[in-house]
Amino acid sequence: MSPRLAWPVAGIAALALTLAGCGSSSENPPPQQQAAGGAAKIAVVASTNVWGSVAQAVGGDQVDVKSILNDPAADPHSYQSSATDATAVKDAKLAISNGGGYDDFFSALVSEAGRDARKIVTFEVSGKPEGTNEHVWYDLPTVKKVADKIAEELGTIAPDRKDTFTANAKTFDGQIDALIAKTEQIGKAKPGAQVVVTEPVPEYLLETAGVRNATPEEFSKAVEEETDPPATAIAQTTDLVKNKQVAALVNNEQTETPVTNQLDDAAKSAGIPIVQVTETLPAGVSGYVDWMTKQVDALSSALTK
């Protein structure tokens, strides 16, 4: 876990006091929406709309999903929780977080809620070692595992609807399998392709695509730790772009800095394609599969120019 990803959690205790006045009591539970067939929808809360979207795909019309982070213009690394967020967590029967140091604010909300909701930590589901890249929603095999885990947990909460959740997860997994096959074709079509990334957010996707991340390690490490990369690392990274030693620049548009802007400018001057990626679902996509497909298509298009 890198320091830049330890999100602020100050104010959680104050939120708990606020909820004492505005939260629903056990005698007056919050009204629940009705699912198809008349059963109450299962309240699900996710730290980001990425995992919220996966939960929606698996739960369908049987769930009411609330995502804490759903603004593509927001920087997830500096998010401050609100009383509304705390209420959403307090009312949920299933809480889904990323883990790996990415969304510590959410873990604090779950702890403060004091409810025995079922929990999924997607980094733990991935089985990846502690301290490795926590952006596991770009790891397509992990996303399948998470979908299956969501189906399992929802089936435990509502056993009478277990078959529905299992079937939905199977459909979703099939879509991810097709996306994996499509992504793998990128590297096969252009063997040896390499790119520079402004931040290692999409690294797992690049691995699936068979595309090498040529970004100097010193540069990537500094970005992850939210410090300025050494001048030598900036120069090395910029030279890769200026001298057209990479096929594209992959830019996380949710974390803009003077250094990333410098790389963008260098790519534009050199005529190197820029592939924009995000950490949360932007407007104009229908869900996780649509969003990730658009990013895979953008990468494929950039590498064929």
Q: Give the CATH number of the domain where residue 45 resides.
A: 3.40.50.1980
Q: How far is CA 290 from CA 97, 159, 164, 179, 240, in A?
A: 21, 30, 22, 10, 31
Give yes or no: residues 206 and 235 share one domain. Answer: yes
Q: Look at residue 223 in the predicted model and tell me its pLDDT.
A: 87
The structure's pTM equals 0.87
Q: Look at residue 27 in the predicted model and tell me its pLDDT.
A: 34
HSE of 204, CA atoms in CB hemisphere, 13 A:
18
Taking the C-alpha atoms of residue 45 and residue 12, their distance in angstroms, rounded to an integer, is 17
Taking the C-alpha atoms of residue 68 and residue 85, their distance in angstroms, rounded to an integer, is 6
Domain that holds residue 231: 187-303
Q: Look at residue 64 in the predicted model and tell me its pLDDT.
A: 98
Q: Look at residue 32 in the predicted model and tell me its pLDDT.
A: 52
Strands 248-252 and 212-213: unpaired
| pLDDT of 9 above 80 | no
Give yes or no: residues 163 and 19 share one domain. Answer: yes
Give yes or no: residues 14 and 148 share one domain. Answer: yes
Give yes or no: residues 82 and 99 share one domain. Answer: yes
Give yes or no: residues 255 and 280 share one domain. Answer: yes
Task: Report the number of distinct structural domains present in the chain.
Answer: 2
User: Span 81-93, mean pLDDT?
Assistant: 94
pLDDT digits (tens, 9 = 90+) for 119-172: 999 999 999 999 999 999 999 999 999 999 999 999 999 999 999 999 999 999
Structure token pair of residue 235 = 């120069």
Q: Look at residue 26 in the predicted model and tell me its pLDDT.
A: 34
Q: Look at residue 109 in the predicted model and tell me its pLDDT.
A: 92
pLDDT digits (tens, 9 = 90+) for 12-30: 343 333 333 333 333 333 4
- DSSP secondary structure string, 152-214? HHHHHH-GGGHHHHHHHHHHHHHHHHHHHHHHHHHHHHSTT-EEEESSSTTHHHHHHHT-EE-
User: Span 258-273, mean pLDDT?
Assistant: 97
Share of the chain above pLDDT 90, in %: 75
pLDDT digits (tens, 9 = 90+) for 29-65: 344 566 666 689 999 999 999 999 999 999 999 999 9
Q: Look at residue 7 in the predicted model and tell me its pLDDT.
A: 37
Give yes or no: residues 290 and 206 share one domain. Answer: yes
Q: Look at residue 78 in the predicted model and tell me its pLDDT.
A: 74
Give yes or no: residues 15 and 153 share one domain. Answer: yes
Q: End of a domain among 180, 201, 233? A: 180
| pLDDT of 116 above 90 | no
Give yes or no: residues 23 and 129 share one domain. Answer: yes
User: Which is more confident, 221 or 94?
Assistant: 94
**With b meaning 16 or more CB within 10 Å and e meaning fewer, what string describes 6-16?**
ebebebbeebb
How is residue 247 annotated by DSSP?
S
Q: End of a domain among 180, 198, 221? A: 180
Q: End of a domain among 146, 180, 214? A: 180
Q: Which amino acid is at 153?
A: E
**With b meaning 16 or more CB within 10 Å and e meaning fewer, what string describes 61-88?**
ebbbbbbbbbebeeebbebebebebbbb
Give yes or no: residues 136 and 151 share one domain. Answer: yes
Q: Look at residue 34 in the predicted model and tell me its pLDDT.
A: 64
If one counts every other C-beta atom within 10 angstroms of the C-beta of residue 229, the result is 21
Give yes or no: residues 110 and 41 share one domain. Answer: yes
Give yes or no: residues 141 and 232 share one domain. Answer: no
Q: Look at residue 37 in the predicted model and tell me its pLDDT.
A: 63
Give yes or no: residues 221 and 294 share one domain. Answer: yes
Residue 265: phi and psi, rounded to 5, are -65, -40
Reference 198, options 136, 264, 246; nearest CA is 264
User: 274 forms bridges with which residues in the sheet?
Assistant: 249
